[in-house]
């Protein structure tokens, strides 16, 4: 199993120059992205569920989306890369 992306990895991907000045914001960005991935998966059980490589990369992609445009996070499932990374992981589906 993989682990969620670290703040150092996120800082590298979103290309932040002085990471020390952004540590608090990066930590919040990380938590928001992980929360969004867990919500999109569905019924996430903290005691049983662990991220795999695909979910870890989905969290990283969500970090990118939030950093670029915070409003894009609400439409994250419309992002083809994010949707592809979540493929096969959903436990709950919307009923129309």
Asked whether residue 57 is domain-assigned, the answer is: yes
pTM above 0.85, yes or no: no
Question: Are 7 and 34 a contacting pair, CB within 8 Å?
Answer: no
Asked whether residue 55 is domain-assigned, the answer is: yes
Asked whether residue 96 is domain-assigned, the answer is: no
CB atoms within 10 A of CB 3: 10
What is the C-alpha separation between 34 and 4, in angstroms, rounded? Answer: 7
Helices and strands (H, E) in the chain, number of each type = 4, 0
Number of domains in the chain: 1
Asked whether residue 93 is domain-assigned, the answer is: no
> Which residue range is the domain that position 58 belongs to?
7-86
Model pLDDT, residue 75: 64
Taking only the tens of pLDDT, the chain with its 96 residues reads: 689 999 888 888 887 666 666 666 888 889 999 999 998 888 888 888 899 999 999 999 999 888 887 776 666 668 899 989 988 777 665 565
Listing DSSP states for 22-60 in one string gives: HHHHHHHHHHHHHHHHHHHH-S--TTT----HHHHHHHH
Model pLDDT, residue 21: 62
């Amino acid at each position: 199993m993989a682990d969620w992306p670290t703040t150092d990895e996120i800082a590298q991907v979103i290309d932040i120059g002085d990471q020390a000045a952004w540590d608090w914001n990066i930590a919040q960005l990380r938590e928001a992205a992980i929360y969004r991935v867990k919500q999109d998966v569905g019924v996430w059980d903290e005691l049983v569920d662990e991220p795999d490589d695909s979910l870890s990369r989905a969290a990283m992609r969500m970090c990118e989306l939030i950093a670029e445009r915070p409003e894009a996070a609400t439409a994250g499932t419309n992002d083809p890369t994010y949707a592809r990374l979540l493929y096969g992981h959903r436990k709950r589906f919307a009923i129309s």
